[in-house]
Amino acid sequence: MITIKSEREIELMRESGALVARVLDLLQTEIAVGMTTKQLDVMAEEYIRDHQAVPSFLNYVPKSDPGVTPYPATLCVSINEEVVHGVPSTKRVIREGDIVSVDCGVYKGGYHGDAARTFVLGVIDEKVQLLVDATSESLARGISMAVAGNRLHDISSAIEDYARSFGFSVIENMVGHGIGSELHEDPAVPNYGRKNTGVKLREGMTLAIEPMIALGRSRRAVSRRGGWVAVTEDGKPSAHFEHTIVVRSGQAEILTGTFL
Ligand code: MF3
Ligand code: CO
């Protein structure tokens, strides 16, 4: 069931979203070669708890897979071929040339905010830089379609068409989602699809739109039994950007900051 949020609820989601944006801004200034992914996680958790909020992902168990180990961290930090759900670790050091996707969710005032950015460390391969830039722009294009009266897959197809125009591959088995008092609500928001299909978008729907785009040919992110991290099948790098937005009649409102 897709819920329409009231202006009061959207006001609360604006607060959660703004906090997520500030966490990612903080990490963007602090991230450096030689740090561990656990250091980023500690920084994020402290900042969130200092602002009367709790991390959305910590102890999260997917409703679709209740047997899985609860997610053990505040952030997902996914490096290079890791698409999503990289678990922060004291053993994982960030290196020159890495692309580091950081995903953060916060729960505050009864509502979640969820956003991700891929950071580039030092000098990286030109093609990989293009991947990162194109993934960010694909999100912008998806968001531009999140307007009342359009259909859900207008968002999806805008993302897919842009990514494919570079020959990049869309990860199809991971999707965006509705968001609100639950981290994952209806509808699923795929990053591929046919325009003019899917449910009609209505003002007050809140969506987390999150393209995951890869170099190479992998269309799936796969994880090992029992593990959280999901990687490309061919080991090629993958980028991830996400914003929580509200569908509006003119232009979608982004709740988790701006494009930098
Ligand atoms: N942004 C991701 C998502 O919406 C992060 C979820 S991580 C988890 O699925 F730990 F909560 F699963
Ligand atoms: Co999400």
| Nearest protein CA to atom 7 of ligand 1, as residue | 57
Question: Which ligand 1 atom is at minimum distance from the Cα of 174?
Answer: 9
Range of 225's domain? 7-254
246 C-beta neighbours (distance < 10 Å), count: 21
Query: Does some domain include residue 259?
Result: no
* Cβ of 75 less than 6 Å from ligand 1: no
Per-residue confidence (pLDDT) for residue 260, from 0 to 100: 59
Give residue 209 CA to ligand 2 midpoint distance, Å. 7
Read off the pLDDT of residues 104-148 as tens digits, 9 standing for 90 and up.
Answer: 999 999 999 999 999 999 999 999 999 999 999 999 999 999 999
Least trusted range by pLDDT, from 61-65, 80-84, 116-120: 61-65
Average pLDDT, integer, range 198-216: 98
What CATH number has the domain bearing residue 159?
A: 3.90.230.10
Residue 137 lies in a domain: yes
Residue with CA nearest ligand 1 atom 5: 103
Residue 1 resides in a domain? no
Given ligand 1 and candidates 114, 191, 244, which is best to mutate, with the most ligand atoms within 8 Å of its CB? 114
User: Is 2 within a domain?
Assistant: no
Question: 31-49: per-residue pLDDT in tens?
Answer: 999 999 999 999 999 999 9
Q: What is the mean pLDDT of the chain?
A: 97
Give pTM, 2 decimals.
0.98
Q: Which residues of 201-219 are buried (b: 16+ CB within 10 A; e: fewer)?
A: beebbbbbbbbbbbbbebe
Residue 117: inside a domain: yes
Q: Whose CA is nearest to atom 3 of ligand 1?
A: 176
Least confident of 58-72, 132-146, 201-215: 58-72
- Report the atom number in ligand 1 closest to the C-alpha of 73: 10
Q: What is the atom index within ligand 1 of the atom nearest the CA of 179?
A: 4
**Triad 36, 20, 48: Cα angle to 5°:** 70
Cα of 43 from ligand 2 centre, angstroms? 20
Q: Is the CB of 76 under 6 A from ligand 1?
A: yes
The closest residue, in CA terms, to atom 10 on ligand 1 is: 57
Q: How far is the CA of 136 from the centre of ligand 2 (A)?
A: 15
Count of structural domains, the chain: 1
Task: Give yes or no for residue 103 CB within 6 A of ligand 1.
Answer: yes
**Domain assignment of residue 152, yes or no:** yes
pLDDT tens digits for range 158-201: 999 999 999 999 999 999 999 999 999 999 999 999 999 999 99
Q: Which atom of ligand 1 is nearest to the CA of 85?
A: 7
